[in-house]
A and B are shown apart, each in its own frame.
Chain A
């Protein structure tokens, strides 16, 4: 039997409606694939609850009720997004036993449409990493080559989608954590405009950058997920109070008067040849689609890495201050002689190396006497970066650039070299700093490993991105299925 998870959400919906498949079969297939998989994608499975929901849906269909397009669709959720009554570990020993007392807005919205959350996926500890190697629950493997990393931090979600362990997944993206693993695993990953999707229930890493978005096997699925989870939320004061378009209805096989700005220039000096070759190949293909291409130069990509790491770690140092084991989290001993000893032991043992490194970095950047040189300056440069992207997007509809400067690397290859790991974020952090939406799409393969490119849109123009990406997919220029490319 063909793996049902390879089908698109609209196709599965048709089959369910016609009665050709039961939701139980979808779950059976998903859980069987997960159980037989050696990718280490999931931290927690929500089997019991999922089957209960399937029973429910089955009854509703039997009663002739009309069902939503997401009804019965298995979705995986990155384990830094909260679901009431279930563990939210953030892949940290600190939260190994932590059960959330409430549900994130995005999960609520998915469940309201009948989606079934089948489990929670692996990530870098507190979403800090680009390889899923900093997880307390061991690294996730790349579905294409198991000795390679799936990217990070949403590596579990991306690998689960690519490995057909789920139909779709949600990830979170702070500096590339949806797009880079999507690229490494050969799937679609969309980081929406900052504030487009509520962060309520997403465990904060860097609050001014964190975004939740879909990771899927095709563009239509991303459109459906995004229109479900996006929109204003009274629980998140930074959510944008603007209505959400019906992205899925916007997708057509034809597009007119589209201009793509190709970002080469200084950036290409730092991109590996393997990736650059795939990009040039893709551009050749673009020329036959009627899309207008334009060269665009954006300077200062190199400065984005320090700016990003100053802002992200500063915010993280504050966001992670709440983990003291008093109300929840890893406790260690129950008795400590002094308050300081309690903090030292709990936070010293509860957090992994990379998390501690970033807390220290951020604490340093915010210290009085240093803050004006680091944090304040980074905030100023961030504004400049945002403006240069805004300017670049004036004359073109979207920008095209690589998602990752390299192919997926081997597990263990970079874990002891944090700086080279940070450089993996080169192409993605500038877009995060600008708050813009961007989708990584799988466009080719090198040495048996997938390569993704980013399509970057204007603020709140996820619709344009999805439309263009859907068109490229329909024209065979992007696909999560290696045989189609």
Chain B
């Protein structure tokens, strides 16, 4: 049987986190009212000239270094010429012909995805399509972008998913971008071809409009299946740019590419050659810090947590930083990771608070964990403390004030348990008839009465003793 193989390469555009646009001093904010963060330069008015934002160069160099690229000592800006209403100058200024970084690598599981190049370029504006006219918003025009281009090393949709996830994680770690796909801060454009193993590569088709990493995987999977189906039917695959339709989960042809598009590249005469001094590279190396993979390895060794938990912690720098900060004083890996990943994350999610804006300081949380560790409060009490913890005073004082210390005395608890059982004779008889699920109900009632202070282990023991 013929075995098909997919060849996948990915181009990722990432918006850099700079204060101003790439070639003018407009604020790099496009969520404002349309066409407000614009000036003669980014609107391409006659006679204007670009002036390079050095912060963008620094961030691009940092990204190149973090992805293991060789950073070139010079980069040259070129003009990529094409007509479109959202492109005010009629050309895009890009270093794609002489990029900032080359030959990088990202390791995914057991494989390496090679990165061909990273280049710096400006974003276009946006078209807003109305009923019978289209309007142009240039707030985004001139935004600094880096484009990260892989070699066609990816073979499976899942690999693309892992690659994009890892890349996003790294970019966030080193602080060059928020890389939020829904906001368009990270745009993923995979190109896919399918061929029979051992035969020449097939025709490449590119997918745009993928708004999440999940969609990247889905889009690639769909396209591979579709191309294999076409090939099996003996149909030829046309070169094309496709749009992902998230509603119907299919790709649609946006424009057919009969031939390679001719962008008439030439060196941008308005900008001198960009020199990247060694000192800048050194300075950016220092800014990178520990990368996620290294951190995973270290934390695995240092804390002996399960890989699954480490993966979750490391996936967000703020989360991992927080965990390690709390650990300094709490010194209990299991309690700390469990409490942060379940109770704290749950608490924040319920309130729609981003982890980066977590109101509970590391000190306070480690105090809570110490109270749990020392057997002073139960986990339930600890969780209930979270909403109040941002108030003044230490958790310790709060526990005292509110009398939340754990009740462990069997005598004290026995009367409470008996009381609960007396209040619910029906449930007790049903339990005795075999409805063992009601055991939890009794525990819950005890906890309710004690406001979570009762040691659940002791309560369980007592219940077993009394009702069998």
Contact = CB atoms under 8 A, between A and B. Distances in A.
B121 to A, nearest CB: 16
B270 A318 contact: no
A155 B147 CA distance: 46
Given A321-B90, A371-B264, A315 B136 contact: no
Given A81-B47, A90-B46, A98-B46, A326 B266 contact: no
Interface string B258-274: 00101011100111100
A324 B83 contact: yes
B81 A101 contact: no
A233 to B, nearest CB: 9
A100 B46 contact: yes
Interface string A314-356: 1101101110101110000001000100010000000000000
Contacts of B43: 327
A327 B45 contact: yes
Q: Which of B45, B46, B264 has the most CB of A within 10 A?
A: B46
Contacts of B90: 318, 320-322, 324
A102 B45 contact: yes
Given A318-B264, A367-B262, A82 B83 contact: no
A137 interface: no
Nearest to B24: A235
Given A207-B269, A208-B269, A235 B49 contact: yes
A371 B46 CA distance: 26
Q: Which of A206, A317, A321, A324 has the most CB of B within 10 A?
A: A321
Interface in A183-211: 199-204, 206-208
Contacts of A368: 260, 262, 264
A322 B262 CA distance: 18
A199 B49 contact: yes
A327 B52 CA distance: 23
A103 to B, nearest CB: 10
A204 B265 CA distance: 18
B316 interface: no
A237 interface: yes
B48 interface: yes
Q: Which of A199, A207, A327 has the most CB of B within 10 A?
A: A327
Contacts of B85: 324, 326, 339
Contact of B46 (A203, A206, A234, A236): A203
Interface string A72-106: 00000000111000001010000100101110100
Q: Which of B45, B81, B264 has the most CB of A within 10 A?
A: B264
A206 B269 CA distance: 9
Q: Which of B52, B81, B136, B260 has the most CB of A within 10 A?
A: B81
B91 A236 contact: no
A206 B270 CA distance: 10
A200 B47 contact: yes
Contact of B266 (A199, A238, A324, A375): A375
A363 interface: yes
A366 interface: yes
Contacts of B262: 367-368
B144 interface: no
A274 B133 CA distance: 60
Contacts of A82: 46-47
B420 to A, nearest CB: 75
Contacts of A375: 266
Nearest to A102: B40
B46 A321 contact: no
Interface string A100-123: 111010000000000000000000
A321 B81 contact: yes
Contacts of A102: 40, 45, 48
A101 B270 CA distance: 21
Contact of A200 (B49, B89, B269): B49
A238 B272 contact: yes
Nearest to B89: A322
A339 B133 CA distance: 11
B40 A366 contact: no
A95 B133 CA distance: 24
A468 B265 CA distance: 43
A322 B40 CA distance: 12
Contacts of B271: 237-238
B254 interface: no
Interface in B107-143: 133, 136, 138
Given A318-B90, A318-B264, A366-B266, A327 B47 contact: no
Contact of B47 (A203, A320, A324, A366): A203
B83 A237 contact: no
Interface in B226-261: 260
Nearest to A104: B47
Q: Which of B49, B79, B88, B265 has the most CB of A within 10 A?
A: B49
Contacts of A236: 49
A371 B266 contact: yes
Nearest to B46: A203
A443 B15 CA distance: 59
Contacts of A317: 81, 264
Contact of A321 (B83, B133, B138, B260): B83
Closest 9 CB pairs of A and B: A321-B90, A366-B264, A207-B269, A208-B269, A203-B46, A322-B44, A201-B47, A203-B47, A322-B90
Given A204-B270, A318-B266, 6 more contacts: A80-B47, A82-B46, A102-B45, A237-B270, A315-B269, A322-B90
Interface of A: 80-82, 88, 90, 95, 98, 100-102, 104, 199-204, 206-208, 234-238, 314-315, 317-318, 320-322, 324, 326-328, 335, 339, 343, 363, 366-368, 371, 375
25 contacts: A81-B47, A82-B47, A88-B47, A90-B46, A95-B46, A100-B47, A199-B47, A200-B47, A200-B49, A203-B46, A204-B270, A207-B269, A234-B51, A237-B51, A237-B272, A238-B49, A238-B269, A315-B266, A321-B81, A322-B88, A327-B138, A328-B46, A339-B85, A368-B264, A371-B264
